[in-house]
Structure 1
Amino acid sequence: MEKKKKVLSLGTVAMDVILETRELPKEDGFGFIDSEKLSPGGSAANLSVALARYGIEVYQTGKIGDDKYGDEFRRTLVEDGVNDKFLITKSGGSTLHTFIITAPDGKHCIIANLGDSVLDLQPEELPGDILKEIDVFYTDMFSSRASIYLGRLAKEKGIPVVYNMQCTPSFMKTCGVTMEEIEEMISLSTVVSSGREGYFEMTGETDYHKGLEKFLEKYSVPQGVICTAGDEGALWHDAEESIYRDAYSVEAVDTTGAGDCFLAGFIYAYFCKEMDKQATIEFASASAALKCMQKGPRTGATIEDILQFIHSNK
């Protein structure tokens, strides 16, 4: 039997309060809530759950509070197949939680309450052997100190590091993360992924194709940089080539978590199954597309679902 690959995921762990509406309210506007529910989320946790569904052994680290949000987050994480033994609980702490307002056609906006736990994870709180037998380390830099610490260890051990710069440097600055820390995380990374705004802030290029080229020229990320551009598709640029993949045409009901599922698909295909670059970006895009067809921030798709979807869209 093939040995399961192991991924350590560090980053945003949260509970989402999902408010379904008929239309996103405009400034000074008014709207109606059709439904309201509590749902586990957080970008890093969404990725972890997707990988677990794809048959990968996933360990989630990060920091939650011992409040109702934290208790529910841990319970559902384990229920979804992710190992929680590295997940730290802060006594008397408050867990990151978000209010996600959704509307038809996949439109949404997110308002976050950071709490006092997710950014507070310290390296000394993590066990010394946390990277033992880990095949891939993923982070979104929540928290920055723990991310850099684990990134350094992973690089020393030759473990691939995937950095998802999902929040722009200007937003990270409001969370107390400096540009120097972001640049160090980039220097430790095997692959860096971000949206269009991230590359714009880092390079000043409004065309993200040029932004990726400029970014790679400056930072020399070993296996390249990725831009997830929503319905414009995805671009993977490295020293050898640029690979672009159109977004699959689907009827989107909720785009929340699509980027997380893209990267889960990427890690699965490229680092766990060693697919070639074209097959990898195709698989990652299909992973994101299937998420868009489901409500909630986490995917319910399996490997078989993704492969069937790809085959039916040839």
Structure 2
Amino acid sequence: MDLEQRILSFGNIVMDGIYHVNELPVNNEKVFAHQVNWAPGGTAVHFANQSAKIGTRASVLGWVGNDSIGIQLLQLLELNGVESSLHHIFNAQTPTSIIMVDDYGEKAVVLSPPMEESRLPAPEEVALYDLQEINHLHTHLFLKPYVDSLLRECRKLGISSSLDIEALSVKSWGVEGVKDSIALATIIFVNESALHYLSPLAMSIEKSLLDLYNLGPDIIICMRGKSGCVVKSEQGMWSYPSIEVATSNSLAAGDIFASVFMNRYVGGATINEAICYATAASAVAISRSSIAVHYPTLKEIEDMLHGKGQRLLDESRG
């Protein structure tokens, strides 16, 4: 991967506390964790950490508080090789999340309140970040006015952009609001539940993807977990299987998939090649650790692809 290639991720920055438990608790039940791990989290952070792990010059843009957690986040990102442009918001708590992961890889998440939007700089100020120094922007709809401002600026400058959409984004911003953002981005990553909210009357995933593709992006990728993914571009529509592995922890698997896809694609790979690498990366990520997010190296990805992922390679070539 070319270190001159620079990918910027923008989004919510949090400190994750990951608790490994035998089973997720039910109402009024108390459970003890076997292990606990604290590490930087959030879509933008996971995307940037994975980019740095496979050799890209990765940057992350967002906000932290001026508390001890915010300071730790900056230090940990630096250790991971990520260039941080995290602006400190004084007298504000850095967001945190508590994530419980059970022995089957299932999880439950509790998020702290987000930073008050009134404390943040205006969206237009965020768009003044020197985007001309980057090759690609990746973001998600955590604060729509800020995301839209950056996406518009990228479009104006001719810089490619990708947008990650989850069901919560659609519930928060509404179908039409999300569709407006989709029209600004180059590449869309969407999961099945979000796709259903965006196109509830469609009779198939393929029809839903076509509806979103007609809004203007170049590529739409529906990530379906163990069912693989479906991709729509000007070249057509294809389904790809997942790689079967035992799941230890599915945390950040979608962010890792998106990061590896974008790094390969921006680096000159075909859509097909980028999807294969991304699928292998997510398979490595979910099968390595029950207590922490595992960011695969390029060697681990290629070993998975040419091992358990051989079926994926064969079917993609066919």
TM-score (norm 2): 0.89
- 1:118-138 deviation per Cα after TM superposition (whole angstroms, max 9, x unaligned): 894533543735212210011
In 1, Cα distance between equivalents of 2:210 and 2:39: 38
1:115 positional shift: 3.1
The aligned counterpart of 1:184 is 180
Aligned to 2:295: 300
Aligned letter for 1:200? H
Question: C-alpha deviations, 1:241-291, integer Å up to 9, x for none?
Answer: 11221111112111101000000111011112x211221111110111111
Per-residue deviation at 1:239? 3.5
2:315 is matched with: none
Q: For structure 1, which segment, 223-232 or 28-37, has the greater mean C-alpha deviation from structure 2 after superposition?
A: 28-37
* Aligned counterparts of 1:56 and 1:117: Cα–Cα separation in 2: 32
**Which is worse superposed, 292-301 or 197-206?**
292-301
CA shift, 1:170, in A, is 4.4
Query: What is the match of residue 313 of structure 2?
Result: none
Would the aligned equivalents of 2:95 and 2:114 in 1 still touch at CA under 8 Å? yes
Consecutive aligned runs of 4 or more in structure 1 exceeding 6 Å deviation: none
Change (3 A) 1:92 1:256: same
Residue 155 of structure 1: how far off its partner (Å): 0.4
| Amino acid aligned to 1:208 | I
Quickly say closer, same or farther: Cα 1:206–1:50, change in 2 above 3 A: farther
Report the residue type matching 2:51 in the other structure.
L
Structure 1 window deviating more from structure 2 (65-74 vs 99-108): it is 65-74
**Partners of 1:152 and 1:213 in 2: CA distance:** 23
SS of the equivalent of 2:34 reads strand
Letter in 1 for 2:297: T
SS where residue 133 of structure 2 aligns? coil
Q: Where does residue 151 of structure 1 map in the other structure? A: 151
Structure 1 residues 162-196: Cα deviation after superposition (integer angstroms, max 9, x where no partner): 0011343444x2xxx45554233211110111111
Cα gap change, 1:2 to 1:21, in 2 (>3 Å)? closer
| Deviation for aligned residue 1:77 | 1.0
The answer to whether 1:214 aligns with 2:211 is yes
Contact residue 62 and residue 143 of structure 1 kept, 8 A? no
Q: 1:116 corresponds to which residue?
A: 115
AA of the residue aligned to 1:145: P
Relative distance call for 1:233 and 1:275 in structure 2 (3 A) is same
Task: Summarize the Cα distance change of 1:30–1:253 in structure 2 as closer, same or farther, 3 Å threshold.
Answer: same
Residue 238 (structure 1) aligned with residue 237 (structure 2)? no
Instruction: Quote the Cα distance in structure 2 between the aligned partners of 1:129 and 1:15.
Output: 24
Which 5+ residue runs of structure 1 have no aligned equivalent?
none
* Within-5 A mapping of 1:76-91: 76-84=76-84, 86-91=85-90
SS in 1 for 2:304: helix
Q: How far 1:15 sits from its partner (Å)? A: 0.6
SS of 2:183's equivalent in the other structure is helix
Cα displacement string for residues 129-163 of structure 1 (whole angstroms, at most 9, x for unaligned residues): 52122100111123322211111110011111100
Q: Which amino acid aligns with 1:156?
A: K
Q: Specify the SS of the correspondent of 2:98.
A: strand
Worse-matched range after superposition: 22-31 or 240-249:
22-31
2:74 match = 74
Counterpart Cα distance in 2 of 1:21 and 1:3: 39
Distance 1:241 1:114 in 2: 42
**8 Å contact kept, 1:11–1:142:** yes
Change (3 A) 1:41 1:129: closer
Given the superposition, is the C-alpha separation of residues 95 and 121 from structure 1 closer, same or farther in structure 2, using an over 3 Å criterion? farther
1:64–1:117 CA contact under 8 A, matched in 2? no
- Supply the RMSD in Å over aligned alpha carbons: 2.2
After superposition, the C-alpha distances for 1:46-85 in whole angstroms (9 at most, x for unaligned) are 010000111111111011111232222111111111101x
2: CA distance between counterparts of 1:61 and 1:167? 23
SS of structure 2 residue aligned to 1:194: strand
CA contact (8 A) 2:127 2:149 kept: no
**Which is further off, 34-43 or 94-103?**
34-43
CA distance in 1, matches of 2:2, 2:302: 19
Counterpart of 2:98 in structure 1 is 99
1:4 correspondence with 2:4:
yes
Q: 1:121 to 1:235 in 2, by over 3 A?
A: farther
CA distance in 2, matches of 1:53, 1:13: 19
User: 1:196, 1:227 within 8 Å by CA — same for their partners in 2?
Assistant: yes
